[in-house]
Amino acid sequence: MPLVKQLSLFLENEPGHLKVPCQALGRAGIDILTMSLADTQQFGILRLVVEEWERARSVLQEAGCVVTVTDLLAIEVPDRPGGLAGLLEQFEAAKLGIEYLYPFPSGTRRGSMLLVFRLDDPLEAAERLRRQGVRVLDRAEVLARLAG
């Protein structure tokens, strides 16, 4: 199952550094579907989900960025109090630790939120979650949901 691909970029914690990759993607006409910026005292990591990840990777590499590609698990969570807590119980039952997570922008309320999770060994994790009855969306499903 083709999972959601994330591009991660190394950034120095300096004014103006976030602009470089964003400009490069902009010039190439690549839309950012969602993103998260992690920062430490010294450096930051920009994590991106885009539509054409392979083209985006080349564009970013040509702009001089260091890029890695990671699989993420996209999971829909009920948009109500306790929705995420319920899902995390499933993670616990599957003995899975979460590295980090972030949401897709949801726009109008539609009853559920779409989150992406970074876990060790994503394929194995997806399989274990499926056995717990958790549905992991593949890349096409995510795109379709965002389009719809």
Partner 1 sequence: MSSLACPEGIVHTASAPDFLPVRLLRDLQLDRLRGIVRRAYERVPLFRARMEERGLTPASLRALEDLAAFPFTVKADLRDTYPFGLFASPMEEVVRLHASSGTTGKPIVVAYTQADLDVWSEVMLRTFAACGVHRGDVVQNAYGYGLFTGGLGAHYGAESLGATVIPMSGGNTERQLMVMQDFGVTALCSTPSYFLHLLERARETKAGLGQLRVGVFGAEPWSDAMRSRIEAESGIRAYDIYGLSEIIGPGVGSECGRQDGLHLFEDHFFPEVVDPSTGAVLPEGTEGELVLTTLSKQAMPMIRYRTRDITAIRPEPCECGRTLRRIRRISRRSDDMFVIRGVNVFPSQVETALLAVEGTLPHYQIVLTREKGLDAMEVRVEVTPEVFSDRIRALEELRHKLSRSVEHTLGIRAAVTLVEPRTIQRSEGKARRVLDQREI
Considering only residues 19-38, where is the footprint of partner 1 by CB under 8 A?
38
Does residue 99 touch partner 1 according to CB under 8 A? yes
| CB nearer partner 1, residue 23 or residue 106 | 23
Min CB(7)–partner 1 separation in Å: 9
Instruction: Provide φ and ψ at 80, rounded to 5°.
Output: -155, 160
Does residue 70 touch partner 1 according to CB under 8 A? yes
From the list 123, 121, 139, 110, the residue with the least C-alpha distance to 50 is 139
Task: Show the binding pattern over residues 35-64: x = contacts partner 1 (CB under 8 A), - = does not.
Answer: ---x-x-xx-x-x-------------x--x
Min CB(43)–partner 1 separation in Å: 6
| CB nearer partner 1, residue 89 or residue 120 | 120
Does residue 118 touch partner 1 according to CB under 8 A? yes
User: How would you write the chain as a 3-class SS string?
Assistant: CCCEEEEEEEEECCCCCCHHHHHHHHHCCCCEEEEEEEECCCEEEEEEEECCHHHHHHHHHHCCCCEEEEEEEEEEEECCCCHHHHHHHHHHHCCCCEEEEEECCCCCCCCEEEEEEEECCHHHHHHHHHHCCCCEECHHHHHHHHHC
Does residue 11 touch partner 1 according to CB under 8 A? yes
Q: Which residues bind partner 1 (CB under 8 A)?
A: 6, 8, 10-12, 17, 38, 40, 42-43, 45, 47, 61, 64-68, 70, 99-100, 118
